[in-house]
Chains A and B, each alone.
Chain A
Amino acid sequence: MSKKAQKAEKGTLKKVLKYLQPYWALVALSILLSAVIVALTLYVPVLIGRAIDHIIGPGKVDFAAILPLLLRIGVIVAATAAVQWLVNSINNKITYQVVQDVRNQAFRRLQILPLSYIDSHPVGGIVSQVIADVDQFADGLLLGFTQLFTGVVTILGTLGFMVSIRPGIAAVVVVLTPLSFVVARFIATHTYSFFQQQSETRGEQTAFIDEMLGNQKVVKAFGQEEKSVEKFDEINERLEKCSLKAIFYSSLTNPCTRFVNNVVYAAVALSGALVCAATAGTAAPFTVGSLSALLSYANQYTKPFNEISGVVTELQNALACAARIFKLIAEPAQTPDAQDARVLSEAAGQVDISDVYFAYTPDRPLIERLNLHVKPGQRIAIVGPTGCGKTTLINLLMRFYDVDRGAIAVEGTDIRQITRRSLRANYGMVLQETWLKAGTVRENLVLGKPDATEEEIIAACKSAHAHSFIKRLPNGYDTVIGEDGGQLSQGQKQLLCIARIMLCLPPMLILDEATSSIDTRTEIRIQKAFTTMMQGRTTFIVAHRLSTIREADVILVMRDGHIIEQGNHETLLAKDGFYAKLYNSQFAA
């Protein structure tokens, strides 16, 4: 591991400790009690050994000495068990509590991260950080608590007891044990390439399955079933070969380390028995009871070694996961609302965009020197080729992104001086990309107006022409729709999004290709409701249908982030510029 990686790991570890801080008393208790458990557990074989020493042969059994010993062992065992349960419970509690804290923090951070972060990171990646990484981290933390610490203490304790019983034999164990490490290491490094090959082939197979089964209907339409199986089998054969290698060679670890343990055991038996035989009858005999204790230690001593080598990789993995999630939590948040930010109530709808510059990445300027002044109630249509900055303008209006230079003002106040929540509450937004949450249809509809009455909901749905299809759903308005609309068609989802806005009716509207997925007949029917809704509301429309654009008060023709033409339909046509060309080409089509 490089120095830098080590340093990073240290930093992560520090943060982990910070999360543990609220539970420091529990942590301290857990560590203390774990040490107690180890000591007690190790003491039991000593006592059993002593008891065995009192059972030498016929007529040489000292019951008076054995019985109190056994009683003592019983008490110690009961105490150990109780403490063990307590420690396990404490460790569980600490781990799950920390995990809960981390997840909550991560989720809270997600709410205030700038949209640019969410836009530029795949959802699956962030979700796996919050779920899978935190889980891995928890597993590692729990393992670290329960096994690493007790493992180390057990090794030290065992060693101590062994030395106290017979230093010479302890030395034999110390010398031989690392062998099992070496063997495990050897196997791990030599099977690595097999595993890599296996996971590559597996990946290839998954990709093939994904491509073929994902388009099974096409495969069937062209009668390619047999050919598809043939190709699948070819990959399947290869996967079998490398899987067999990977699985077989890696499964050698256990038998091999077990063999090393057996050798250690034999060595202890040998040296112990020889000493036993040699010292029998002397003043300080090495007894059979001591030998039995040593043998039981020899077993215990190698076990934590094997466990620890597993735990260390687990811990490294856990720290890597923790680092990822901490990175997410440390991502810079969006600029908080100004302290004296104004709460915008019912805006009349005056919007002023003055000298605005904006770019997603500094080296690729997108919007430059944009100026637009909208009077209350005006309808602004934005047209232009893809990538001209239409959607970006919406991002800026809603303050999903902040302008680089210049200012956008609503009612004369710079929107950076208005709380985000109140600014956004004044806009009703329908996007081309529909989004619905998992829940009932009703829950989705009242998103903007939680206290809406049944009549209001139905009225809104009727004007959005959503009522009739909602009624036909299995449970009407209480039908549960899956994540992102589930079984609804794209058009139906869009109708729900429109109904959602028609229900809360904010003073300003943003419609980004709001009817793109609705068939033309229904669209014309909704149009009427749209027209009523837009009455007296400042509206920004990104649209491709000419009828919508034609009726706008101001048409902005955008190209490469600039407004190249501005005016109403007639004046722009008369100008015979880009708009006229666009209009004619679309119409001719």
Chain B
Amino acid sequence: MKKLLVYLREYRKESILGPLFKLLEAGFELIVPLVVAAIIDRGIGAQDQRYIWLMCLVLVGLGLVGLLCSVTAQYFAAKASVGFVKKLRHALYSHIQGFSYQTLDKVGISTLITRMTSDMNQVQTGLNLALRLLLRSPFVVFGAMIMAFTIDVKAALWFVAAIPALSVVVFGIMLASIPLYRKVQGLLDKVLGATRENLTGARVLRAFGKEDTEIAAFEEKNEALTVMQKYVGRISALMNPVTYVIINLAILFLIHTGAVRVEAGIITQGAVVALYNYMSQILVELIKLANLIINITKSVACAKRIQGVLDMPAGEPVKRDLPKGDGKYRVQFIHAGIRYSEGADASLTDVNLSVLPGETVGVIGGTGSGKSTFVNLIPRFYEATEGQVLVDGMDVRAMEPEALRARIGIVPQKAVLFQGTIRENLQWGNEAAAGEEIMQAVRIAQAEDVVVSKGGLDAMIEQAGRNLSGGQRQRLTIARALVRKPDILILDDSSSALDFATDAALRKALREMDGRPTVFIVSQRTSSIQHADQIVVLDDGRAVGVGTHLDLLETCPVYREIYDSQFRKEAAQA
């Protein structure tokens, strides 16, 4: 929490002036009963009409000044809270940019989005309310008490008794019901989950004839929710009646004491009315305060969640003093392995591979065999936890991440494009790339027809590339990677949406490129990789075979099995 307050520093003036003006307004409000008392004692008592008029004008004047103070306070509070959250949003967004893949996986994208959106909004609301009201309510409560003391000390003692009693009741009920409301929310989530699941699984559930069991399970969850809601309701329903009793008891005692004091000639009738008015003011403020605190508690919880993300380490420090390798290889894996978290099974173990510049490497294996993990080690998206990954003889962890990644072109599994023109999207690869350079990449990626059919490089791509087909998107993402003329090109299962002819043409064009990059092709299809210079066969995170297509058919049973399942058997039987 403390760390977040740094972002409020720039709004220090507003955060102090806001509550201050609010207090001024409350102060004017506290004068009102005194004025009414004066009207009663001097105006009515002396039948002084002019005085009554004057005092009522004072009342209106007080209201007007109060209004001005209040408006000023609202402005400062709004400015501070909106500005604070703007700064916080920027800070969090920038912080997230520095997260490694591993941190992103751990936190989860949907969590980050919630932190950036709804949590931020709640913090803004909470801060705004806090600046406006957090000081005001206690001020009015204690102010009323102090005013009572200025009128009559003995009568004011009833305030000293009533305020703690009221506070105990209001805050006690609130504290008791907050955890219960959380339980209600939890039960409601269960009801929601049951509904969603029932809809997404409608076909399967009906196929298994589960309608009645589903109804029974839903109604059970619903009943639990209702019981809890009624229970919480009964507790929070105590708030109004109990506070009503306390405040009125205090008023009764106040009037009795007042009567005694008036009889003794110490105070006037108007003073009794003023005391009565002060007591009434307290109740309203205490209840406002309780609601405010509920709101602030929520905001604090959201702020803590935001803080939690800000506390996560960002950035990938460069590690010096790592052993160097043989500079003649473009990419080298030496006993490389990775374990995503302590205690989990290794996702990749003991992989050894040396790749010369310009070579093509195929990576194949079943689902979950570690293919993506393997290629993601090269740009240091994930860090090897065992062994080393080297580029040109340098450990990737010893290089500046930006410099390393600038040399690598990646085509991810999921073909993602962003809202903007085709040109803007392709320039992600290289901001300085001119039209002809871009078109060259487009042609190698077999995407010329896509660009032409959309009407050129300046055609708009909708959000998430909705106006393109899967294959079109995929070819553009390949072009995007090629625009930067990478030394190393990684195709992570990225030709899956391409038909075989296009796939083959793409591979041919890549081979014929000037300054031909070292290419890593991840695929499930043997046909996409069988011409590679080296093929790595992964099975459960282990490299069970490294070699050329023909070698592997001889020596690697897993590779043979994959090949047979896709090709040979059908060829033999056709």
Bound-state Cα–Cα, A400 to B205, Å? 12
Return the CB mask of A215-226 against B: 1 if under 8 Å, else 0: 111111111111
The answer to whether A546 touches B570 (Cβ under 8 A) is yes
The answer to whether A80 touches B52 (Cβ under 8 A) is no
Residue of B60, B82, B209, B573 touching A247 (CB-CB under 8 A): B82
Find chain B residues with CB under 8 A from A233 CB.
Answer: 90
B291 an interface residue at 8 Å Cβ cutoff? no
The answer to whether B93 touches A263 (Cβ under 8 A) is no
Residue of A255, A437, A518 touching B70 (CB-CB under 8 A): A255
A88 an interface residue at 8 Å Cβ cutoff? yes
With A96-B229, A252-B71 in contact, is A247–B419 under 8 Å at CB? no
With A255-B67, A269-B39, A277-B52 in contact, is A400–B203 under 8 Å at CB? yes
In residues 413-429 of chain B, which contact A (Cβ within 8 Å)? 414, 416, 418-419, 428-429
Residue of B nearest to A431 (CB): B203
Q: How far is the CB of B67 from chain A (nearest CB, A)?
A: 4
Bound-state Cα–Cα, A429 to B204, Å? 8
The answer to whether B202 touches A521 (Cβ under 8 A) is no
With A55-B269, A73-B248, A244-B79 in contact, is A126–B109 under 8 Å at CB? no
The answer to whether B208 touches A291 (Cβ under 8 A) is no
Return the CB mask of B93-131 against A: 1 if under 8 Å, else 0: 110111101001000010011001100010010001000
A311 an interface residue at 8 Å Cβ cutoff? no
Bound-state Cα–Cα, A84 to B308, Å? 43
The answer to whether B86 touches A239 (Cβ under 8 A) is yes
The answer to whether B251 touches A244 (Cβ under 8 A) is no
Residue of A216, A295, A398, A484 touching B104 (CB-CB under 8 A): A216
The answer to whether A589 touches B109 (Cβ under 8 A) is no
The answer to whether B429 touches A222 (Cβ under 8 A) is yes
The answer to whether A57 touches B379 (Cβ under 8 A) is no
The answer to whether A292 touches B196 (Cβ under 8 A) is no
A51 an interface residue at 8 Å Cβ cutoff? yes
- Interface pick from A27-35, A105-113, A152-160, A364-372: A105-113
B181 an interface residue at 8 Å Cβ cutoff? no
Bound-state Cα–Cα, A251 to B81, Å? 13
Find chain A residues with CB under 8 A from B248 CB.
Answer: 44, 73-74, 77
In residues 182-226 of chain B, which contact A (Cβ within 8 Å)? 188, 191-204, 206-211, 214-215, 218-219, 222-223, 225-226
The answer to whether B255 touches A52 (Cβ under 8 A) is yes
- Interface pick from A58-66, A312-320, A351-359: A58-66
B317 an interface residue at 8 Å Cβ cutoff? no
- Interface pick from B237-245, B326-334, B390-398: B237-245
- Interface pick from A5-13, A382-390, A420-428, A558-566: A420-428
B519 an interface residue at 8 Å Cβ cutoff? no
The answer to whether B255 touches A273 (Cβ under 8 A) is no
Residue of A85, A222, A522 touching B480 (CB-CB under 8 A): A222
Bound-state Cα–Cα, A465 to B115, Å? 40
With A58-B264, A211-B418, A489-B367 in contact, is A222–B428 under 8 Å at CB? yes
The answer to whether B222 touches A292 (Cβ under 8 A) is no
Q: How far is the CB of A96 from chain B (nearest CB, A)?
A: 5
The answer to whether A111 touches B214 (Cβ under 8 A) is yes
Find chain B residues with CB under 8 A from A44 CB.
Answer: 248
The answer to whether A55 touches B258 (Cβ under 8 A) is yes
The answer to whether B416 touches A259 (Cβ under 8 A) is no
Return the CB mask of B33-71 against A: 1 if under 8 Å, else 0: 000100110011001110011011101101110110011
The answer to whether B60 touches A447 (Cβ under 8 A) is no
The answer to whether A274 touches B52 (Cβ under 8 A) is yes
- Interface pick from B452-460, B510-518, B547-555, B558-566: B558-566
B355 an interface residue at 8 Å Cβ cutoff? no
Find chain A residues with CB under 8 A from B94 CB.
Answer: 229
Find chain A residues with CB under 8 A from B385 CB.
Answer: none
- Interface pick from A18-26, A202-210, A452-460, A530-538: A202-210
B164 an interface residue at 8 Å Cβ cutoff? no
Q: How large is the interface on A (under 10, 10 to 19, 20 to 34, 35 or more residues)?
A: 35 or more
Find chain A residues with CB under 8 A from B565 CB.
Answer: 520-521, 523-524
B313 an interface residue at 8 Å Cβ cutoff? no
A348 an interface residue at 8 Å Cβ cutoff? no
Find chain A residues with CB under 8 A from B56 CB.
Answer: 266-267, 269-270, 273
Find chain A residues with CB under 8 A from B96 CB.
Answer: 213, 216
Return the CB mask of B462-487 against A: 1 if under 8 Å, else 0: 01100000000000000010000000
The answer to whether B36 touches A211 (Cβ under 8 A) is no
Find chain B residues with CB under 8 A from A110 CB.
Answer: 195, 198-199
Bound-state Cα–Cα, A240 to B406, Å? 35
B324 an interface residue at 8 Å Cβ cutoff? no
Which of A57, A211, A221, A524 has the most chain B CB atoms closer than 10 A to its own CB? A221
With A521-B561, A547-B570 in contact, is A55–B67 under 8 Å at CB? no
Residue of A73, A74, A93, A483 touching B196 (CB-CB under 8 A): A483
A100 an interface residue at 8 Å Cβ cutoff? yes
A476 an interface residue at 8 Å Cβ cutoff? no
Find chain B residues with CB under 8 A from A182 CB.
Answer: none
The answer to whether A48 touches B276 (Cβ under 8 A) is yes
Bound-state Cα–Cα, A55 to B94, Å? 69
A174 an interface residue at 8 Å Cβ cutoff? no
Bound-state Cα–Cα, A95 to B114, Å? 31
Find chain B residues with CB under 8 A from A248 CB.
Answer: 74-75, 78-79
The answer to whether A424 touches B209 (Cβ under 8 A) is yes
Find chain A residues with CB under 8 A from B244 CB.
Answer: 77, 80-81, 84
A576 an interface residue at 8 Å Cβ cutoff? no
A256 an interface residue at 8 Å Cβ cutoff? yes
Residue of A nearest to B503 (CB): A589
In residues 251-301 of chain A, which contact B (Cβ within 8 Å)? 251-252, 254-256, 258-259, 262-263, 265-267, 269-270, 273-274, 276-278, 280, 288, 291-292, 295-296, 299
The answer to whether B562 touches A66 (Cβ under 8 A) is no
List 26 A-B residue pairs with CB atoms under 8 Å apart, sorted by A's residue number: A51-B259, A55-B255, A74-B248, A88-B233, A88-B240, A111-B215, A126-B195, A209-B93, A209-B117, A216-B104, A223-B405, A229-B90, A240-B82, A252-B71, A262-B59, A265-B59, A266-B57, A269-B59, A420-B206, A435-B201, A438-B197, A472-B345, A490-B367, A491-B368, A518-B367, A519-B562
Q: Which 6 A-B pairs have the closest CB atoms?
A: A262-B63, A92-B233, A88-B237, A58-B265, A520-B565, A81-B241
**Further contacts, 9 of them, CB under 8 A, given A259-B66, A292-B276:** A55-B272, A74-B249, A111-B198, A206-B117, A217-B381, A248-B78, A277-B49, A398-B206, A448-B208
A residues neighboring B (CB under 8 Å): 44, 48, 51-52, 54-59, 61, 63, 66-67, 70, 73-74, 77-78, 80-82, 84-85, 88-89, 92-93, 96-97, 99-100, 103-104, 107-108, 110-112, 115, 118, 123, 126-127, 130-131, 135, 202, 205-207, 209-226, 228-229, 232-233, 236-237, 239-240, 243-244, 247-248, 251-252, 254-256, 258-259, 262-263, 265-267, 269-270, 273-274, 276-278, 280, 288, 291-292, 295-296, 299, 398, 400, 420-421, 424-425, 427, 429, 431, 435, 437-438, 447-448, 472, 483-484, 489-491, 517-524, 546-547, 550, 587, 589
